[in-house]
Amino acid sequence: MLSQFKMSFAEIKQSLLEFDNSLTSEHLMSLKYMFPLSDQEKKAFKEYEGPIEDLATPEQFYKELLSVPRLEQKINFFLFKKQFEEHIEALNQTASILSLASNELQNSAQFAKLLKWIYTIGSYLNRDTRLSEAAGFSLESLPKIIETKTGQANVTFIDFLVSKVVASTPEIVHFEEELPNLDLASKVSLETLGNHKKETENEINELRKEIFIYEQSPLLFSKEDRFLAIMKPFLSSAEATFDLTATAIANSISSFNRVVEYFGDDSKTTTPASFFQNVVLFANAFRRAHHNHMDKLKKIERLRELKNATNGKVESPLAQKALTPNPKLLRRHTIVIDKRAYHSDNENEENLQPSPFPSPSPSNQIPLTNQ
């Protein structure tokens, strides 16, 4: 471990006294790992008065550095100073992502329209069930909606949703473009954010105490020891910077709590991971379903063009079958959910019309709520 230091032991000692830039964060991490020693070990090194060359290289290292007053504290605070800006930047970035994602979700007009689509279709599907008068649905229901199957093979609720959105309100198809920070926000942990904030605050408090010790006992430290001269101005700057960061974190948590409550969830128990991930999963599934839907429409259009080009005459039976429009795709949308079919006689019709199928079963209803 000592081989990483391209400096003499005396130069390492001098760097710790002067708080210069000779030692990197990696060097300081290594030094922190090497210390502390036990009180007995420290005493043995300090009391040794024999020839330094009689000691092994590691022992010479400890002998040299233990002559630095309050060595362990110096290493810790030197490292804290080196890493402070990086830690603050990470805290600010996390707070910013949380705030941005919360505001994006609450203010997204396109996402709101999409939720209205889900509620409208879901309410219709749940007609004549205990959920027929549901006031809305929680965002945690979105992943369940993705999994909802229909009576048609390979057709899901989200497939039908996409077809209706594309036909009637195509401007909201790319709603996730209004939510660029949701994926990052879904990885935010409020507990981790709070712990890192507290750790930084504790370090500042400990530095304040250390500076007080230096100020109260100036004779204990040599003139070449520049800890006080370097760290006192740093403390003032760090306190001001941290206060701004603490405010940003508090504001970001408030923004998150507001958006959680805006969508009817409990801000005391809801985490960014669970809350935003529900929307991210839904957005990914919607994107895939939209891609598949557009592929189908392109294939249908190519078939139409080919049939027109051949004046409707196709010699091959297989080609004839391929060119025969699928009535489910070309003439009407049909979706069966919970044994109920819903039809749209043309692409632009917004009203869903029920089929004579029985009412949906309680086990497979769209997850709306009365809350």
pLDDT in tens, 305-327: 888 887 765 555 545 554 454 44
| Domain membership flag for residue 215 | no
| Domain membership flag for residue 333 | yes
Query: Cα separation of 315 and 51, whole Å?
Result: 104
| Domain membership flag for residue 102 | no
Terminal CA-to-CA distance of the chain, rounded, Å?
61
What is the per-residue pLDDT across 50-73, written as a single tens digit (0 to 9) for each? 888 888 988 998 899 998 999 999
Ranges assigned E (strand) in 14-154: none
Would you state the torsion angle of the CA atoms of residues 262, 264, 270, 272, taken in this order, to the nearest 10 degrees?
A: -40
CB atoms within 10 A of CB 241: 16
Give the pLDDT band of residue 221 (cuts 50, 70, 90).
confident
CB 31 within 8 A of CB 76: no
| Structure token pair of residue 234 | 């740093």
Name the domain count of the chain. 1
| Domain membership flag for residue 93 | no
Alpha carbons within 13 angstroms on the beta-carbon side of residue 42 total 14
What is the per-residue pLDDT across 276-306, written as a single tens digit (0 to 9) for each? 999 999 999 999 999 999 999 999 888 888 8
| Domain membership flag for residue 205 | no
Q: Which domain holds residue 117?
A: 110-182+271-364
| Domain membership flag for residue 126 | yes
| Domain membership flag for residue 21 | no
| Domain membership flag for residue 14 | no
For 355, phi and psi rounded to 5 degrees? -95, 175
Instruction: Of 228, 272, 235, give the one whose Cα is nearest residue 105.
Output: 272
Strand partners, 336: 341
Query: Cα separation of 81 and 83, whole Å?
Result: 6
Strand partners, 334: 343
